[in-house]
Structure 1
Amino acid sequence: MDACDVKMYYIIIEDPGLPTVPKNVGHICYIQESRYMSRLSRSEFPQELPVICMGSSLDSLLKVNDLKPVTAKEAELLQALGEDSERLKWYLERDALDTALGLTKDAPVTVELDGKWLQGIVRYVGRMTEPKYPDPIVGTFFGIELQGEDKGKGPTDGTYLSKTLFPCKKDCGIFAPFSRVKPMVSKPKLVSKCLTFPAAQLATQPSPQQAHHQPLSTGDRVTFFMDEDILHGMVMDLEEKEGRTLVIISTDRDEKITLPLDSVIKGELLQHEPEPMETDKAIMPMEEVHPLGLGVDSLVEVTLAIGPGYGTIRWIGTLPGQKGTYAGLELEDGYTGVSNGTFKDHRFFRCLPRQGLFVKLLSCRPDSRFQGAADIQNERASANVLQERQVVRSPGALPSSPIASEQVERMLIGRMKGIQGHINSCYMDSALFSLFSCSSVLDSLLFKSTEPRDAPIQSTLLHDIVNPLRSKGFVEGRHIMKLRQQLQELGYCHTFTTEEKDPEEFLTLIMHHIFCLDPLLKLSAGGKVQDSYCYQIFLDNNHSLVLPTVQHLLEHSFHSAGLKLAEVPSCLILQMPRFGKKFKMFQKIIPSLELDITDLLSEGPQQCVLCGQLAYEECVDCFRDPVFSRTGFKVFCRTCSSQVHSHPERLSHSPSPLQLPEGYPAPTTLRAPPPAPPRERLELFAVLCIETSHYVSFIKHGPNSTDWIFFDSMADRHGERDGFNIPQVEACPEIGMYLVMSPAELANQVPRDMKGVAKRLFCDAYMYLYQSTSISLYR
């Protein structure tokens, strides 16, 4: 089954204390995504979930704390293992599972058979049998063609149950689960490369640390890595070759080795440093081990051969076979470590592969890029340290709940709140803040199945952006840059890290190309249905609008284009009419807090605009007739339509019948008219605005007209080239006073005299975001 079509949420039973559950720990379960979202919407965090265990068709109500989420790909890999206990073992160890997710065809591997490890090449990755109803998945196996001296030692020729899954010679193939497959790694395995900032950027934007940093020179002591072995040596010479700096090292083993500069750490960060007191403790109070009070979650700086390196302390304690107290660092993007949080086969914290580094705690110093802004950092740290401490990532973790209206003031209002801007990122900052800070309408993006190559993007979006935003109220700019780098490296756009984009371009990319989300919008035109993720409002030259509401704009756009909605959207993203990004068609647009889309639906019961009874006819020619209303589609019951179109000015009109849902009674003289149908409405939850190419956003977080906040990811800045942006979220209740004004009063308001930031909402709107509070529960 294609990952984009899988709409299940998979879970593994982890807690052993489940006497009421007829399944063992390690058993795989699942629940429909829509069903899970429905449970989530009714509770800030559900305590129990009605899941279906693999091999069963009945619900089992399990405690959420006893379960751990897994992706569809992980579930398929684990399902290939024969025993539940084995599944749990390999799930908890994680490393082999993470490695297996990245294994592809033609990868060289070793495979275990009868206790012996044989060499081979992966020729097939997938299922060996079809799922048995009602199970949605079956195990994923690796088909391996044995190589070299191990040819002829296998049990198959690539055929299983008379079906050839991959071709190979007789007895040269083997099918195995991921637990018996390891990628072949040539030894010694060195740090592959260090992704530094582009050379041009370093040349034009030197940091103070680079300015005073002494380059690596002959005689310096250095640290480097082979596999997970920490080795030391002395620099004998440096040479330039093919545009790279190579370091010639005499190791402490009297060996001579040449390494790239970016694979070497200056100094012996892991040895021969003053040892703090009480080194026998695994984790010690910060006052006893670091004079500057650095602890878990501190942003720190260490000296690498290429210059300063930056990261976050994720763990502090002692390492096997090492003396003293160490810090486990998760390095920023742009710097490469040597592990994923493990040391000598022991896991101490979790991070992405090659992003972890262990150093002496006293080798760490505070991140100097934030010096001079200690007041801001301390304010953030005091509010966040309890929430962040010792948080471990889980690739299938649930998204945090959106920030509730009553929590907004405590969690979001202030400086260094929201998402920190970073190099033309305001379009992305505003879009992500609008979608995820106080709404869950698109949370399915955060845990739905996706292709392995796009899984890191989903992980970054969930772990580094959405969850920190909702749990701490702040996302560092480096995480936004990380997301942009991942999008660029995967080839979606080569300028994602440098240039500003349109929000709709970014949103369509992540919804359509990466997460394969079903289109949010289904438009009906001439009997054909078109799919879309955003809707750009276009108006013809005959419109009479001067100070429109969003409702007016949408109705006029649909009328001029001959469009209708094929179904109620869970999320409706509307782009306001413009001549390019800079030229607005209207000086002001009045926000419609509710969008009535009843008359925009191609099918569904509608009310007569005159008497309110069930309508059976629509007249497109009456659209602009001011006798009925200022604007809007005109639908009538049969009696009212006959009366309206008997007027001499409307004799030329051509009413057309409405399509009613199946089951609605046809009108008869013997039957009373059916009751008036309910209205279908969407509620406004966010607005993106643009002024002088800078995007900001407004969030409607509560039911009151004053429940508005304003977000700017680059509201202020500390320092120049080597400084950083200061994001800010502020309450803007003044918007409420303008929303209750009549159109005439609002038209007379001079934009520059409007209070607070209200002018930006009414005059600079670029994109409106609406949600259906009922439909979003199921999509």
Structure 2
Amino acid sequence: LWSGVWRQHKQSKVERVHCFMLEKGPDRGKGYWDGTYGGERYFKCDKNCGVFTPFNRVSSLLPPVHKPSLQSERLELGDRVTCFIDDKFRYGMVLDLLEIGGQCFVQISTVSLFTFVCLFYICIMPQPNTFFIAEGESMDVDTPPEADTDYLYMGLSLNSMVEVTLGEGNTYGIIRWIGKLPDRSETMVGLELDENKGVSDGTFKGQRYFKCPVKRALFVKLSSCRPDSRFQSTSSNHNEKMQPEDTGYTEQVKQLLTGRMKGIQGHCNSCYMDAALFSLFSCSSVLDSMLFKSTTPQDAPIQRTLLNDIVNPLRSNGFVEGRHIMKLRQQLQKHGYSQSFTTDEKDPEEFLSVIMHHILALDPLLKLSAAGKVQESYCYQIFLDQNHRLVLPTVQQLLEHSFHSAGLKLAEVPSCLILQMPRFGKKFKMFDKIIPSLELDVTDLLSEGPQQCMLCGTLAQVECVDCFKDPLFSPTGFKVFCEKCSKQVHSHPQRRSHKPASLEIPKGYVGRKNPHTMIRDKMELFAVLCIETSHYVSFVKYGPNTEDWIFFDSMADRQGEMDGYNIPEVQPCPEVGEYLEMSPSELANQAPRDMKGVAKRLFCDAYMYLYQSTTMCLYR
């Protein structure tokens, strides 16, 4: 804080906030004005000694005179505080509260001083936006940007790997407990740290919340935590390109997940469930909300099994024993959803429907608009009419053609989109190869929202369903035009019979000519389930690069005969990236039997594609 004398307190006519001015102190000359603002004088001081700032950013330089006892204390572990020590402000995080000689002390962690202990009463609890930090200054403990608060709350859950800035740098740990502590309104978390930098073994004020080694537990606010940057696969802004220095986590992901006896161990026709669970939870958190949502007492054991026996071990150890999957299958069978859950092979969509809809009552992932009515579903089966001309389609083309033939649009961007490919049963496939679309652009598939004319880029006003299959236009995207381009296109004799329909333009865009800053709504591919000869496997994209793929088979090998067990395996498959970068003509010339590694299975055996929206998953 800049120090000085309060000279005036007045309502500013310009900014409509309280303002004050500083004139004296060690920071003399670091101001901006001489008491005049906007041509009006509020007070008089020397040049560059006046500062105008909102009143709520002002804090007293003097510490409180009272010394609260332990019983009346307001500070808690994880609070960010400031202390005035040796004529300097020290910013940090409360690590521990100590009682020494009848006085209360606070152990504080900072970057400049790893830890120090000071009297409780000289600590000040800073509120959001209380301190005015001049350019070039920084707090000793990094606080996540205010704009990221929702992400921090929505993206973190039990057993999430997180980092928190303590002492000389970032400290890493795992969330072992989330909840409310006595007399605290904020959501708190109990961390098990990687190193002995904590303050207990999982207890807080004599109450045990979880168990871990001594000096490994630390209780902090949830908002003080950030996802472990070592394992982050995408930038917080999905429009930014991932920089090379941000991709070091990929090696650690491979170390955790790849190898024999990794992934989920298969047993007795469980491959459909193994592949589905590995795809959904190994490298994505888009559906983590269903692991923590409130559920009925009858279904709570299934949710606990899914979280504690499957997802948590998979993410922390990279391996789930087959007995845990069998336990889940027995629970599902006991609930009466199917009498053959423990013995027979099922379709992944049947299993996902039971878990999401019947057990956990998750809100439908997909909302479709058709003829003014909204339909809800958890996955979408792609159907094509008989007149399609697709030979080597992309997933983007398949989805667009399916929506076109069925007269469907998206009512909203889904957080997770599960697409079933056009194949019937386990044998018949409509296409020999399907090209995975790493990004799925759903902008033109939305029932509401501004769109750009496909020819000139101005605001689109009409859509022509008859032009959709016209070979003159690009093979992807719905055909939308502005009025001028539509007239030109439909002046051709072959298109005069077309019937363009008016688009519903949002009010904020009416009259706007050039929506060039319009953001495209895109979803990213994170997993693909494949089937060949009645056996399900999966591909998972674990990093930002084209070659960052792993291949999972829950029954890759077997040890022993009838009394033996299956050996699951997860292997890197960078060769997939080589084929993804090929042009359609090059890929068409690739004979499946000659494709490298397991790439053939991704392109030829795809059964289900899983996409996520890095934006919408923050809100659902």
Q: State TM-score, norm by structure 1.
A: 0.52
Choose from 421, 429, 434 the match for 1:589.
434
1:135-214 alignment, distance < 5 Å: none
Partner AA of 1:750 in structure 2:
A
Q: In the alignment, what sits opposite 1:45?
A: 162
Choose from 594, 615, 619 the match for 1:774.
615
Q: Distance in 2 between matches of 1:639 and 1:93?
A: 67
Choose from 601, 608, 611 the match for 1:760.
601
Choose from 259, 271, 288 the match for 1:414.
259
Q: In the alignment, what sits opposite 2:236?
A: none
Q: In the alignment, what sits opposite 1:456?
A: 301
Q: In the alignment, what sits opposite 1:491?
A: 336
Q: Distance in 1 between matches of 2:577 and 2:152?
A: 36
Identical-pair percentage: 70
Could you say if the C-alpha distance between residues 456 and 13 of structure 1 is closer, same or farther in structure 2, counting changes exceeding 3 Å? farther
Q: Distance in 2 between matches of 1:643 and 1:714?
A: 59
**What is the deviation of 1:533?**
0.3
Q: In the alignment, what sits opposite 1:65?
A: 190
Partner AA of 1:609 in structure 2:
M
Q: In the alignment, what sits opposite 2:450?
A: 605
Q: Distance in 2 between matches of 1:612 and 1:36?
A: 38
Q: Distance in 1 between matches of 2:407 and 2:191?
A: 53
Q: Distance in 1 between matches of 2:552 and 2:388?
A: 33
- Aligned length in residues: 434
Could you say if the C-alpha distance between residues 63 and 53 of structure 1 is closer, same or farther in structure 2, counting changes exceeding 3 Å? closer
1:31-42 alignment, distance < 5 Å: 36-38=153-155
SS in 1 for 2:346: coil
SS in 2 for 1:653: coil
Q: In the alignment, what sits opposite 1:575?
A: 420
1:235-254 alignment, distance < 5 Å: none
Q: Distance in 2 between matches of 1:626 and 1:676?
A: 29
> 1:614·1:676 contact (CA, 8 Å) conserved in 2?
no
* Structure 1 runs, 4 residues or longer, greater than 6 Å off: 12-16, 18-21, 32-35, 51-56, 88-91, 400-403
**What is the deviation of 1:558?**
0.3
**What is the deviation of 1:491?**
1.6
Root-mean-square deviation over aligned CA pairs: 3.6
> 1:706·1:734 contact (CA, 8 Å) conserved in 2?
yes
> 2:179·2:188 contact (CA, 8 Å) conserved in 1?
no
Q: In the alignment, what sits opposite 2:87?
A: none
Q: In the alignment, what sits opposite 2:384?
A: 539
Choose from 409, 415, 425 the match for 2:270.
425
Could you say if the C-alpha distance between residues 89 and 511 of structure 1 is closer, same or farther in structure 2, counting changes exceeding 3 Å? farther
**What is the deviation of 1:476?**
0.5
1:266-665 alignment, distance < 5 Å: 405-665=250-510
Could you say if the C-alpha distance between residues 685 and 551 of structure 1 is closer, same or farther in structure 2, counting changes exceeding 3 Å? same
Spell out, residue by residue over 1:681-714, the C-alpha distance to the aligned partner (whole angstroms, 9 max, x if none). Answer: 1000000000011000001111111111100000
Q: In the alignment, what sits opposite 2:137?
A: none
> 2:179·2:189 contact (CA, 8 Å) conserved in 1?
no
Q: Distance in 1 between matches of 2:451 and 2:468?
A: 16
Q: State TM-score, norm by structure 2.
A: 0.64
> 2:552·2:571 contact (CA, 8 Å) conserved in 1?
yes
Could you say if the C-alpha distance between residues 93 and 664 of structure 1 is closer, same or farther in structure 2, counting changes exceeding 3 Å? closer
Could you say if the C-alpha distance between residues 491 and 757 of structure 1 is closer, same or farther in structure 2, counting changes exceeding 3 Å? same
Q: In the alignment, what sits opposite 1:746?
A: 587
> 1:40·1:46 contact (CA, 8 Å) conserved in 2?
no
> 1:46·1:64 contact (CA, 8 Å) conserved in 2?
no
**What is the deviation of 1:659?**
1.6
> 1:52·1:60 contact (CA, 8 Å) conserved in 2?
no
Could you say if the C-alpha distance between residues 729 and 643 of structure 1 is closer, same or farther in structure 2, counting changes exceeding 3 Å? same
**What is the deviation of 1:92?**
5.5
Could you say if the C-alpha distance between residues 53 and 466 of structure 1 is closer, same or farther in structure 2, counting changes exceeding 3 Å? closer
Q: In the alignment, what sits opposite 2:539?
A: 698
**What is the deviation of 1:666?**
2.9
**What is the deviation of 1:739?**
1.0
Q: Distance in 1 between matches of 2:206 and 2:414?
A: 41
Spell out, residue by residue over 1:471-491, the C-alpha distance to the aligned partner (whole angstroms, 9 max, x if none). Answer: 111110001001111111122
Could you say if the C-alpha distance between residues 91 and 423 of structure 1 is closer, same or farther in structure 2, counting changes exceeding 3 Å? farther
Q: Distance in 2 between matches of 1:47 and 1:451?
A: 34
> 1:713·1:728 contact (CA, 8 Å) conserved in 2?
yes
> 2:455·2:485 contact (CA, 8 Å) conserved in 1?
yes
**What is the deviation of 1:639?**
1.6
Q: Which structure 2 segments of 5+ residues have no match?
A: 1-75, 79-94, 98-105, 107-119, 126-148, 166-174, 193-203, 218-224, 233-248
**What is the deviation of 1:663?**
1.9
**What is the deviation of 1:408?**
2.1
> 1:613·1:676 contact (CA, 8 Å) conserved in 2?
no
**What is the deviation of 1:53?**
7.2
1:661-740 alignment, distance < 5 Å: 661-666=506-511, 672-740=513-581
Q: Distance in 1 between matches of 2:578 and 2:486?
A: 39
Q: Which structure 1 segments of 5+ residues have no match?
A: 1-11, 22-31, 68-87, 95-348, 351-385, 391-397
Could you say if the C-alpha distance between residues 408 and 608 of structure 1 is closer, same or farther in structure 2, counting changes exceeding 3 Å? same
SS in 1 for 2:466: helix
